[in-house]
Amino acid sequence: MNALLLSYGIIWKNSVWAKIAVVFQLAVTALLLTQPLLSEFDYEFNEILSLVLVVTSSVWAIESVKLFDEISVEKRPSNFYLFSVIAVTSIVNAGLSFLAVAGYSVFHGCGGVRGLLWFWLLPICAVFFGTGLGIVLAGWLRRFHKRILCAVFAVAFVYNVWTVYRHVPIFIYSNFFGYFAGPIYDELIPIDSTLVQFRNGTVLWGLLLGSLGFYGWNKRSRRRSGRLWMLCGTLALLILVIELNREAIGFDVSYSKLETELSEEIQTQHVRLKFDPGIDSTSMRLLAAQSEFFYRQNYRALNLSADRPVTVFIYRDAQQKKKLMGAGSTNFAKIWRDEIHVNADEAENVMEHEIVHILAGEFANPYYSTRRIGFLEGLAVAIEWNESYFTPHEWAAALKRLNKLPPVLPMIEGHGFFWTASGMSYIISGSFVKFLIDTYGIERFKHVYNDSTLEEVYDKSGETLIGEWSQSLDSVVLAEQDVRFAEWLIQPSLFQRRCPHRVAEISHQAFEAYANYNYAEAERRFDKALSIDPDHYGLRMSRIRCRYYSRYFDDALDEVNQLLDSKKLNYAASASALILKGDTFLQLGQPDSAQAIYSKILKDYGNIRNVYIGAHLRLSFFNHLEQASALKRILSTENRDEQLDILQRVIMENPKLKLPVYWKGRIGHGKSEWENAIATLDTISFTDPVFELDRLQRLGDSAIRLFDAPKAITYYDRARAVAKRSMDRETLQQKRSFAEWFISSRN
């Protein structure tokens, strides 16, 4: 220990570059501790620190080799001793950053074992690699060490960028740069065996480079190298085995492997679908037709001149997608390859959006499309124009009336886009882009999309254009309840939440247990997540549901009352909490209290379709005692088969009742039982426009999934006749247009 401390002091005293390296490292650490998300002892902090340490430890090693004679306090120092001195002194430097962030984390509450694992796998492994790299440069070269070091890092950077452009994954396992996990929207960044194996390989690379460096230094110093060649050979063999198995381990994925995994294929004129054999081929045939329709429709909307065939890779689930290409929950368009990567259960909802990204490549930068993320996503939203409940203009107008409209220009340029919650960023950007296109035309927008300034294209400042758009929102007609509904968009972004990756990891485990009806384990996990982020009201509601389905109804009622009394829930979340409160009263044998809650929901939250339908369905069962008992049993389980059995008995006993039949058809539709859904829902009709719209839309969706487009058109036309909201009418018209195109494409 004394020898190490002495060596550290010698290096610090005699090398200006060593001082610069340490000061730079500590300055970056201090800066990170002032930044949201980056200050948490998790992935982002450790990844950035590893980037710094791989450079500073290389510089430290180069300076140490120059001072070998001074730091060799032993008479005949071994190569192992010298490597240990350099590596350990570099780790001491890393430890300075660790102490800073550890002290911060004690008060902040993030990090823990997960943070320590990241620190070992990223910064510490980076120290070993950087040390080896510095030794090999200083051991073999007499001059220009740092210039060559810069050149090596530049080449490594270009290689890694080239790898992302040419290979399937958008994650990067790099000895030089650590681990790039993929899109920022993927909050769940697990520490898995693949990462552990790769970073162990990084340490082996550091040892190999260090050994080669000592061999060069020994040769120059006319020292005996002993068994260095044996060590080098062993390390090289281990590394060779790892590199030859990159795909098998998961460090990389070639397109040949991807097409082997996603081996099923459907080809249309402009779209090629590749999908996992485990996915239902019938649903993929429909998706292929929808994709071709979206391609043609958006091709015309964007006024394009050249075809851009699109390849769509469809993954079985988020886990398969994360493993093969790096974006688990985030659906992703590789614009530079005209590729789309989506999860099967989300493909239909996101396909048009992603196709717009690809088609925009005709007038975009060929490598990154546009540097304005707000225009990138805003164009897709504006062309698709299909949001939940309201149009983007209506959402934006509601936010303006709540005085919650975020600054738009920073959102368009990028930094404001990520600082704002993603739902709001997409919708506001889409509304602004739609305004620009409708007011000034698509051709002018194409120029600003390709990085021309707003002033150059529109002869107006950005502030003036934002003002025109904002003024146009004043003409949007909205009910007061609809304005309040927009509170749903006001959420903290990834950068504003507490320990988001750790919470996401625990929540993922909780929801897995919940999906398997293991409510006790799910509750334990939710409790753990809430101990980190107690203001996450979505998790609090999930925890209360665990208590409810575990039949701890008194506890569930107390907790939902506390949540409602906090006055921190937004409008939509309050409605969901009230539904659960009414259900809990029913389970506790207080039907009058339950009825009062459901009636209040109809009065105060009738503009939210699913909430209105849920409350109305519940109230319909209170006409007879036996029906109320059946409702209690239905609401005591989340198993849809059990719910269907209970509903079937109610229908048999009361064949004239419509709402139990509707509920049965709704569940069948949710289970993708299209024929059963049609057979059930087509036997009833409603005078209530909300129920009738929902019934007809489900009938149309079921018919199109059975490839009965004429029947789907009939249902969609009838649904449009009763639809009140402009977004509902536009969505139904879009569905009808696809059904018409589907018929014409078959003739």
Residue 675 is part of which domain span?
A: 642-747
State mean pLDDT over 16-43.
86
pLDDT > 70? residue 495: yes
Contacts 24+ apart (CB under 8 A), 659-665: 659/616, 659/617, 659/620, 659/621, 660/620, 660/621, 662/617, 662/686, 662/691, 662/695, 663/617, 665/695, 665/698
- Answer yes or no: do 278 and 193 share one domain: no
182 within a domain of the structure (yes/no): yes
| Residue 655 pLDDT grade (very low, low, confident, very high; cuts 50, 70, 90) | confident
pLDDT > 50? residue 541: yes
pLDDT > 70? residue 600: yes
580 within a domain of the structure (yes/no): no
State mean pLDDT over 544-554.
97
pLDDT > 90? residue 13: no
pLDDT > 60? residue 141: yes
- pLDDT tens digits, 556-599: 999 999 999 998 899 999 999 999 999 999 999 999 999 999 99
- Answer yes or no: do 452 and 394 share one domain: yes
Residue 660 CA to residue 663 CA, distance in Å, equals 5
Q: Can you give the CATH number for the domain in which 670 is found? A: 1.25.40.10
- pLDDT tens digits, 81-134: 666 667 677 777 677 777 777 666 655 667 678 888 998 999 999 998 998 999
Residue 347 CA to residue 284 CA, distance in Å, equals 10
Q: Report the interhelical angle of 640-653 vs 625-634 (nearest 10°).
A: 170
pLDDT > 80? residue 74: no
- Answer yes or no: do 267 and 236 share one domain: no
- Answer yes or no: do 166 and 295 share one domain: no
pLDDT of residue 419: 83
pLDDT > 90? residue 306: no
pLDDT of residue 618: 95
Which of 6-20, 69-83, 163-177, 514-528 has the lowest average pLDDT? 69-83
Domain end call among 215, 249, 283: 249
pLDDT > 70? residue 148: yes
Q: Is the pTM of this model over 0.85?
A: yes
| Residue 75 pLDDT grade (very low, low, confident, very high; cuts 50, 70, 90) | very low
State mean pLDDT over 671-678.
96
Residue 355 CA to residue 298 CA, distance in Å, equals 8
- pLDDT tens digits, 202-243: 999 998 998 888 777 776 666 666 677 888 889 999 999 999
pLDDT of residue 214: 78
Domain end call among 229, 249, 269: 249
* % residues pLDDT > 90 (the chain): 65
Average pLDDT, the chain: 90
- pLDDT tens digits, 619-637: 999 877 778 899 999 999 9
pLDDT > 80? residue 70: no
pLDDT of residue 104: 64
Domain end call among 459, 489, 519: 489
113 within a domain of the structure (yes/no): yes
- Answer yes or no: do 301 and 175 share one domain: no
- pLDDT tens digits, 508-531: 999 999 999 999 999 999 999 999
- pLDDT tens digits, 372-408: 999 999 999 999 998 888 999 999 999 999 999 999 9
414 within a domain of the structure (yes/no): yes
Helix (H, G, I), strand (E, B) or coil at 435: helix
- Answer yes or no: do 275 and 140 share one domain: no
- Answer yes or no: do 430 and 291 share one domain: yes
- Answer yes or no: do 72 and 160 share one domain: yes
Tokens linked to 744? 């014409």
Nearest 5°: the CA angle 266, 271, 273 is 35
- Answer yes or no: do 430 and 468 share one domain: yes
- Answer yes or no: do 38 and 185 share one domain: yes
- Higher-confidence residue: 89 or 677? 677
Tally of domains within the chain: 3
- Answer yes or no: do 14 and 153 share one domain: yes
Residue 248 CA to residue 141 CA, distance in Å, equals 37
| Residue 73 pLDDT grade (very low, low, confident, very high; cuts 50, 70, 90) | very low
- Higher-confidence residue: 67 or 639? 639
Q: Produce one character per residue of 110-137: b if its CB has 16 or more CB atoms within 10 Å, e if not.
A: bbeebbeebbebbbbbbbbbbbbbbbbb
- Higher-confidence residue: 295 or 747? 295
In DSSP terms, which residues pair with 334 in a beta bridge? 339
State mean pLDDT over 12-39.
84
